[in-house]
Chains A and B, each alone.
Chain A
């Protein structure tokens, strides 16, 4: 490994550490009060003081998010295949889905609470509802962009629509699908935390709400950091899956960067 590559490998860490150093310094230099913007050192102290609740609640949030995300993957994949299968279904469902996607999901939480009560279920469903859309759109796009010549080659052999779907449609859609998972997993965190802070007694969202009520500002920021770390970790898992499953589509220099 040469020096440039070493630098590239290290730079994410350097930038992150740099951000916290600047933050810490700025708080001290400008004498910002802790209840306004706590320095990273105070946030770290909050992690130590509240390690139990933070660990418990971040585990709950992670679970909630992953279950909602799992539902979104299953449902999004099915709906995407259905929408990509037929132009009539595409034309019929697309405006409905766009309309649905335009609704702020926080507005759905009261309805979900009405149906399922507060707690785990509305949070899972909010994570699901917010994250399935990019999966559907990407899968449908992958199917809709099959080269017409390739379709002709197969049709001239007597291939059925199902054949074309199995041999070409689904494999060529995989890069789109795995790409969409990276977007969907981060959205799923947004969904579960929204619901936790509005209607739950558990989770990081709820923890932050309670911390706010008690004016424990460092703890609020600790919650944010937990969410960021979980988000990055899950994104990395999805990116790794993408590389593993669709190596053939990752040939350009951009993909390796």
Chain B
């Protein structure tokens, strides 16, 4: 398998004269179709990693490669979702989903002609995350969990090859969060897209990921890389097994060390 997303010896600091490095000597490589999770203490540069891998920021040193090409501009093949759903309150749920199609080529040019078809696709995507028939509602008429599902759909509507998730379930209650784990698990299994998930939640990382990367505290770099050998498809029940708990505990001890 070849690396789909690769950061090699990357260092980065944000603009400003005396700014400290956010990440230093960060190397990470995610294979095509793989589900990777990045965990670490807060402020370890996880979000910086997201921005570097999508071409929203460019490293001071080192190289970032996505889909075999060095990243020199925003990558255009990525879908992103964040902790806040960031939906547009003046658009209905369906219209929010259509937003990426109004921007990404080739859909952009075909928007006028194929609008009905795209709307249909958006409806189906909504149905696949359990939001059937909610398309004409406005985001503020939806619950937090439903908004976050919509946000995930928006990240997927243009069928990106890469899905970047920055703590997308962080603001949700425990039950909704676990429901959405299953949603994202099924979406990834069905579409075989490459996913990079940044999270604080170790159970989430272990449940979803093929590989978990543990980052050190600032300036961030990868200190441990752990392949999760649990069989797929995984059920929520697996989170209560001894094998699962052992992996979580092991990762936890790495993070405790990383914080020191």
Q: What is the distance, in angstroms, from B12's C-beta to the closest C-beta of chain A?
A: 15
**Which of A153, A156, A174, A249 touches B55 (beta carbons < 8 Å)?**
A156
Separation of A108 and B89 alpha carbons in the complex (Å): 42
B75 adjacent to A156 (CB under 8 Å) = yes
Asked if B104 and A152 make an inter-chain contact with CB atoms under 8 angstroms apart, the answer reads no
- B86, B88, B105, B164: the one contacting A156 at CB < 8 Å is B164
- Closest chain B CB from A152 CB (angstroms): 6
Which of A158, A249, A251 has the most C-beta atoms of chain B within 10 angstroms of its own C-beta?
A: A158
Instruction: State whether the Cβ of A78 lies closer than 8 Å to any Cβ in chain B.
Output: no
Task: Mark the stretch among B77-85, B128-136, B170-178, B180-188 that contacts chain A.
Answer: B77-85
Q: Choose from B55, B76, B99, B105 the contact partner of A167 (Cβ within 8 Å).
A: B99
Would you call A154 an interface residue if the criterion is a C-beta within 8 Å of the partner chain's C-beta atoms? yes
Whether the Cβ atoms of A156 and B84 lie closer than 8 Å is: no
With A152-B56, A167-B102: A157-B90 Cβ-Cβ less than 8 Å: no
Residue A115 at the B interface, CB < 8 A?
A: no
The reply to whether B86 and A157 form a contact with Cβ atoms under 8 Å apart is no
**A17 interfacial contact with B, CB 8 Å:** no
User: A169-183 vs B: 1/0 string, CB under 8 Å?
Assistant: 001101000000000
Q: Are B90 and A248 in contact (CB under 8 A)?
A: yes
In the complex, chain B residues 40-90 whose Cβ is within 8 Å of any chain A Cβ: 51, 54-56, 73-76, 78-82, 84, 86, 88-90
Interface residues on chain B, size class: 20 to 34
CB-based nearest B residue for A155: B74
What does DSSP make chain A's interface, helix, strand, loop or mixed?
helix
Residues of A within 8 A of B89 (CB): 248-249
Q: State the CA gap A147–B80 with chains docked (Å).
A: 14
A5 within 8 A of B: no
Q: Assess whether A156 is in contact with B82, with CB atoms less than 8 Å apart.
A: no
Given A147-B84, A248-B89, A249-B89, CB of A157 within 8 Å of CB of B138: no
CB closest residue in chain A, given B86: A150
Q: Which residues of B contact A152 (CB under 8 A)?
A: 51, 54, 56, 80, 82
CB distance from B49 to the nearest CB of A (A): 13
14 pairs, CB–CB < 8 Å, chain A vs chain B: A147-B84, A149-B84, A150-B88, A153-B80, A154-B103, A158-B73, A158-B74, A158-B104, A163-B103, A167-B102, A171-B90, A172-B88, A246-B90, A248-B90
Residues of chain B having any CB pair with chain A under 8 Å? 51, 54-56, 73-76, 78-82, 84, 86, 88-90, 99-100, 102-105, 138, 140, 154-155, 158, 164
